[in-house]
Amino acid sequence: MTIADTFKQFLSNIAVDNGDTISLRYGEITAALNKKFRDTESKLANSLQVGSYGRWTAIKGISDLDMLYIMPAGKWETYKDGGQSRLLNDTKNAIKDRYPTTTVLVDRLIVRVLYRDFHIEVQPVFEQADGSFKYPDTYDGGSWKITKPREEIAAMKESNDQKNKNLRRLCKMARAWKNKHGLAMGGLLIDTLAYNFMKSTDEYDEKSYLYYDYMSRDFFQYLSERPDRDYFAALGSGQRVKVKKKFQKKAKKAYELALDAIAAAGSDTENEKWRKIYGRGFPAAVQATQKAAFASSSWRNTEEFIDDRFPIDIRNNIILDCEISQNGFRERFLREMLRLNLPLKTAKTLKFSVVDHDILGEFDLYWKVLNRGEEARRRDCIRGQIHGDRGSLSRTERTDFRGDHIVECYAVQNGVVVATDRIHVPIQGNQVNADAA
């Protein structure tokens, strides 16, 4: 396959694959609200798909969908004076009355409708003369705020047309990158930064898939050089888009990996290097697949992958650390040792724990311990199975033999991986090899 074929296949692999189900759910909610507020049964009128799905930049696994329901102008008098909470509750009740077995919750700004592997955030709004919308905010007694999603959608479409359809594809590839690396980065921020990048250059105005390796490289370099800010101005609307977590360091790493992948063009390792950036959605090389099958004849490849169990849509942060002890005495934390380049030696107990997260509500935690290297293969001890947490948000391992190893955790909420973190465990003379605590 050429590089153009590979990137084309990559984008096909990460395309939204449940569009019919999503459209059905949008239609059900729209019909329920039209019945309540207009006494009609239309599944299309008076609603607007917004967010990543509305801008056509969503990818497979999207779980956080957004919808505006445009209220009848005549209802403004009913809600304008302190009626923010009442409007959200009336919206919730209308959906709940129509679909009583569906979980429907009021949040500060929206009504959340929960399905098995995605949810829709419904925002009742009043349209303004300039095409913007007033929406209710129940915080601190209630207020009305303005949103301008039509301007964002229009800016995305216009720029995508001008850039030979490359903008939306870049936005989708960036989502695969942030999911692969557990980066809590909102969809509007991704689209805004990709939009700003494409406007900063004419290099890709007439190019396509054949140049997506270079476009990836240049985009990640652009991200790595962005100033450290709390927010950016959204494409089209100019409204503030919050930065949940600094992205520059991971973008710099992706840029360096892209340089390596480009340098490896035509080699057996080229695709694997791109997979380190974009994840399993990026096609594996045929030769690499054949070699892996041959090699596994002498050892069992027991590695499992979380995206075979759950869709991934990273939108929260979770942080792991590891307490290192020996004979019951604590020595150091692993991240500190890695920062100081201190070696991790034998006969240690490693306790991996979630030390911080910003996930609201309950979630399930899963762990993966992967042993890599020749010694792990020789001993037929790759591991890599995914196990559920036992309620402590921690996992204890013991060292055994040398090698390069990875410990990952995955936070799953409402059937979707919403946060993940990993720690690299370079062990000199030992290996992670024990049962969970």
Which structural domain, as residue segments, surrounds residue 81?
19-147
CA gyration radius for the chain? 24
Q: Is residue 433 part of a domain?
A: no
Q: Reduced to 3 states, what is the DSSP secondary structure of residue 289? A: helix
Q: Is residue 1 part of a domain?
A: no
| Residues 255 and 137 grouped into a single domain | no
Going 80 to 81 to 84 to 89, the CA torsion angle's sign is: negative
| Residues 180 and 263 grouped into a single domain | yes
| Residues 49 and 139 grouped into a single domain | yes
62-86 mean pLDDT: 96
- Give the C-alpha distances (Å, rounded to integers) separating 302 from 121, 290, 380, 386: 38, 17, 9, 10
Return mean pLDDT, the chain: 91
| Burial class of 436 by CB neighbour count within 10 A (0 to 12, 13 to 18, 19+) | middle
| Residues 345 and 375 grouped into a single domain | yes
| Residues 256 and 203 grouped into a single domain | yes
> How far apart are the C-alpha atoms of 7 and 434, rounded to whole Å?
39
Local structure of residue 333 (DSSP, 8 states): E
Q: Is residue 292 part of a domain?
A: no
Q: Reduced to 3 states, what is the DSSP secondary structure of residue 8? A: helix
Domain count, the chain: 3
Band of pLDDT at residue 431, cut at 50, 70 and 90:
very low
| Residues 113 and 201 grouped into a single domain | no
| pTM of the model as a whole | 0.90
The pLDDT, as a whole number, for residue 291 is 55
> How far apart are the C-alpha atoms of 51 and 132, rounded to whole Å?
15
| Residues 265 and 353 grouped into a single domain | no
Q: Which amino acid is at 255?
A: Y
> How far apart are the C-alpha atoms of 420 and 403, rounded to whole Å?
23
324-353 mean pLDDT: 76
Q: Domain containing 413 — which CATH number?
A: 2.60.40.10
> How far apart are the C-alpha atoms of 432 and 430, rounded to whole Å?
7
Does the structure show a pLDDT above 60 at 434? no
| Residues 82 and 114 grouped into a single domain | yes
| Residues 142 and 168 grouped into a single domain | no
The pLDDT, as a whole number, for residue 437 is 36
The pLDDT, as a whole number, for residue 435 is 39
Q: Is residue 132 part of a domain?
A: yes
Does the structure show a pLDDT above 90 at 337? no
Q: Is-contact 167 159, C-beta < 8 A?
A: yes
The pLDDT, as a whole number, for residue 117 is 82
Taking only the tens place, the pLDDT of each residue in 187-213 is 999 999 999 999 999 999 999 999 999
> How far apart are the C-alpha atoms of 100 and 93, rounded to whole Å?
9
Q: Is residue 284 part of a domain?
A: no
How far the first Cα of the chain sits from its last, in Å, is: 46
Token pair in block for residue 184? 């809590």
| Residues 141 and 169 grouped into a single domain | no
| Residues 259 and 303 grouped into a single domain | no
Does the structure show a pLDDT above 70 at 392? yes
The pLDDT, as a whole number, for residue 297 is 60
The pLDDT, as a whole number, for residue 401 is 63
> How far apart are the C-alpha atoms of 63 and 312, rounded to whole Å?
8
The pLDDT, as a whole number, for residue 424 is 83
Nearest Cα to 227, choosing from 209, 208, 251? 251
> Per DSSP, what are the bridge partners of residue 123?
68
Q: Is residue 282 part of a domain?
A: no
Q: Domain containing 107 — which CATH number?
A: 3.30.460.90
| Residues 375 and 405 grouped into a single domain | yes
